[in-house]
Structures are given as structure tokens and as C-alpha cells.
Amino acid sequence: MFKGSNVALVTPFKNDKLDDETYIKLIHFHIKNGTNGLVPAGTTGESPTLSHGEHERVIELCVKESDGKLPVFAGTGSNSTEEAISLTTHAEKIGANGALIVTPYYNKPTQEGLYQHYKAINDKCGIPIIIYNIPGRSVIDMSVETMARLYELKNIIGVKDATGDLKRVDLTLKVLGKDFIQLTGNDDNALEFNKKGGVGAISVTANIAPKLCSEFQKFSVMKDEKSISEAVKLDNILQPIHHSMFVESNPSPVKYAAKLLNLCEDDVRLPLVKVTDPTKEIIKKALQSAKLI
């Protein structure tokens, strides 16, 4: 159910308020342009600065507007286990297909703490859970052994791996098997990630290049020479965009790119700020190289 190009949806703002109208347009933009799945209220959706009401609202809008056309895996993680349970059970109640739950940030739990955190959420809900392992933001790194323990629970189905370590794909496949879903959280390593056994990405770039990203993902999991060649070609087109999306803190660059494409404004919430002029030029050149503008 959850593979290919899945967009880590930006959250548009107007006058520092959630812009429902634009958000709905973005959802339908992805339905029409080949995106395989929607991930609202993640890091790219600025979840740290959404109020609880806004967090629930963007998930509700995503579920309602996608109307079963695309799976919705809602970002429902927190460094508070009770808060994560609350967000996850809400997502389940309103019809989300699953939850993307980040490893608890700042607290620095042990591997046992990580296990108990996810087990507590698992035990309170009935929808699939994808672990979001991102040591660069959370500080802690979930081990493959801990993931294997969690995979024994009823709702844990896979991982969004943002470690950047491609060796982890091999090890995870060896220990947990091919049915454990592996998605990359790093657009720039998606080609090699899928070659090693991954089945897709939760993508920042898909916000602005959904057709290119979905086509790339389609070809990247095929084994014939023609498909592999096409995947490499698309990857070469996408790499400058991937790079430009992280010259400054995500999601400021992707929101500026979205503004250039008339998808939404580039407003972000403090402590994030809009990108600088030099970064704007890098983003423009990347979009031009891919013939998006």
C-alpha cells in the first residue's frame, strides 16, 4: 500500500494562519500528478510549530480531500508518548491509512525506551505504523535489532530511514526480511536505496516535482536494463533539485520553490525564516535545469 513517491507535504500559511484553501489545492495537485502517497504533518509540514488543532486539521483535510485516491500516512510522532498516542488515535479515528512516527527527539531515550515508546503507541491503535528514524534531528538512532523487536508487534510495518547510511538497507533486509517496508527519507540516495531493497521514498522534492519523482520511483524498482537506464536519467535530472532543497533548513527551500511554481507562498514559522538571496538563485537554477520553470 505504501511505496513509490510519497510526498512529505508542506503546510501553507497565510498571515501566519493555516491556509486551508491552498492546502486543499496542493492535495489535488498531487492526486493529479502521479504522487503515490500523502504524508501530512511531518517535518516538512512544520509539525513542530503547528498547534494541536492545526496538526489534527491538516491530517483531517488530507484524508477528506484525498478521499481514498491516495493512502495517507499521517505524521503523529512526538517526544511525549502520550501526545503521540493522542495524535495517532485521532488519525485512526478520522480514517488515515497509517501513521509515520518519529523517534523521540531531545529526550534521548535508550533502545529499550524507544521500544517501549512505540509499543505503547502500537497497543493503543489499530493502524499501520512506520518508524521514522532520523538521527540528524532526533539525536538518537534506532538500531536494527530494536526495529526487529518492534516488527513483532501487530502494527509496525516499516521504516522511513533518514540515516543516510545505505548499509542499513542491506542489514535491515537481512534481519527483518523483504516484507518490512523500507522507505528512504533522503531524496538524494533514493536510487541506490531502492537498488538495495527499498521500495520508495517519503520525499521533499515531490512537493514541486511530483511527476518526475513518481516516474523515477516507478523505474527505480524495476530490474530490466531499460528501466534502470531511465531511472538513472531521471535521477540525474532530480539531483540538483534534491541538493537545492537542503542548502538551508527544510522546508524553507521547498516552500520558495513552490512559490516559484505558484503552488503556495513561501511563508514559514519562526524559528525558521525564508531563504536568502544566494539560495534563491541555487533553487531557480535547479528548477530551470529540470525544465520546471
Q: What is the pLDDT of residue 2?
A: 87
Active-site entry in 132, 218, 256, 259: 132
The single-letter DSSP state of residue 158 is E
Question: Is 223 an active-site residue?
Answer: no
Phi-psi region of 68 (alpha: psi -120 to 50; beta: other; left: phi over 0): left
Question: Is 25 an active-site residue?
Answer: no
Rounded to two decimals, the pTM is: 0.97
Active-site entry in 3, 160, 255, 280: 160
CA dist 248 and 264 (Å) reads 19
The single-letter DSSP state of residue 72 is B
Q: What is the pLDDT of residue 3?
A: 96
CB 76 within 8 A of CB 100: yes
CA dist 203 and 201 (Å) reads 5
Measured CA distances, 49 to 13, 42, 140, 162 (Å)? 12, 11, 21, 21
State the Rg of the chain over Cα: 18
Instruction: State the 10-residue block means of pLDDT for the chain, 293 residues long.
Output: 94 97 98 98 97 98 97 98 98 98 97 98 98 97 98 98 97 98 98 97 98 98 94 98 98 98 98 98 98 96
Measured CA distances, 106 to 78, 86, 125, 132, 139 (Å)? 10, 20, 24, 15, 7
CA dist 208 and 190 (Å) reads 17
Q: What is the bridge-based pairing of β-strands 17-18 and 13-14?
A: antiparallel
Residue ranges of domains in the chain, CATH in brackets: 4-221 (3.20.20.70)
Q: What is the pLDDT of residue 183?
A: 98
CB 109 within 8 A of CB 121: no
Q: Element (H or E) spanning 102, and its range? A: strand 98-102
Q: What is the pLDDT of residue 60?
A: 98
